[in-house]
Amino acid sequence: MNNHLHHEERGLAADVKQTTSVAAEKCYQCGKCSAGCPVASEMDLPPSLVMRMLQTNRPENDEKLLRSKTIWLCLSCEMCISRCPMSIDIPKVMDFLRRRSRDEGKVTDRAKDIVAFHDSFLLSVEKTGKLYELGLIAAYKMKTLHLMQDVTVAPEMIQKGKLHFIPEMVKNRKNIAQIFKKTIKAKN
Amino acid sequence: MIKIGFYPGCSLTGSSREYAESVIALCEAFNIELKQIPDWNCCGATAAHNLDKELSLALPARILALAEQNGMTEIVVPCAACYNRLSVTEHTLNADEQLRARISEIIEMPYEGTVKILNVIQMLQKYVVNELANKIVAPFDHKVACYYGCLLVRPHEILQFDRVEDPQTIDEMLKLVGAQPVDWAFKTECCGAGFSVSQPDIVGKLSGKIVKDAVDRGAEAMVVACPMCHANLDMRRPAINSYLKTTIDIPVLYVTQVLGLALGISREKLGLQRHFVPVKF
Domains (ranges, CATH) in chain B? 2-120 (1.20.1050.140), 134-274 (3.40.50.11810)
pTM summary value: 0.94
* Range with the poorest average pLDDT among A145-154, B100-109, B173-182: A145-154
Asked whether the predicted pLDDT for residue A1 surpasses 50, the reply is: no
CB pairs under 8 A between A and B: 155
Mean pLDDT of A156-164: 87
B236, B252 contact by CB (below 8 A): no
Which residue of A75, A100, A113, A170 is the best one to mutate when testing the B interface, meaning the one whose CB has the most B CBs within 10 A? A75
Mean pLDDT of B185-190: 97
Mean pLDDT of B121-125: 98
Mean pLDDT of B87-110: 97
- Looking at residue A164, what is its pLDDT? 81
**What crossing angle do the helices spanning A47-56 and A11-20 adopt, rounded to 10°?**
110
Asked whether the predicted pLDDT for residue A4 surpasses 80, the reply is: no
Which residue of A118, A132, A136 is the best one to mutate when testing the B interface, meaning the one whose CB has the most B CBs within 10 A? A118
Exposed, middle or buried, B241 (CB in 10 Å: 0-12/13-18/19+)?
A: middle
CB contact under 8 A, B62 and A179: yes
pLDDT band (50, 70, 90) for residue B213: very high
Cβ neighbours of A176 in B, within 8 Å: 41, 62
- Looking at residue A132, what is its pLDDT? 87
Asked whether the predicted pLDDT for residue B190 surpasses 70, the reply is: yes
Mean pLDDT of A130-151: 86
The nearest CA of chain B is from the CA of A22 a distance in Å of 15
Q: Which domains does chain A have, with CATH numbers?
A: 2-105 (1.10.1060.10), 110-187 (no CATH)
Sequential DSSP letters for B12-81: GGTTTHHHHHHHHHHHHHTTEEEEEPTT-----HHHHHHH-HHHHHHHHHHHHHHHHHTT-SEEE--SHH
Mean pLDDT of A165-183: 94
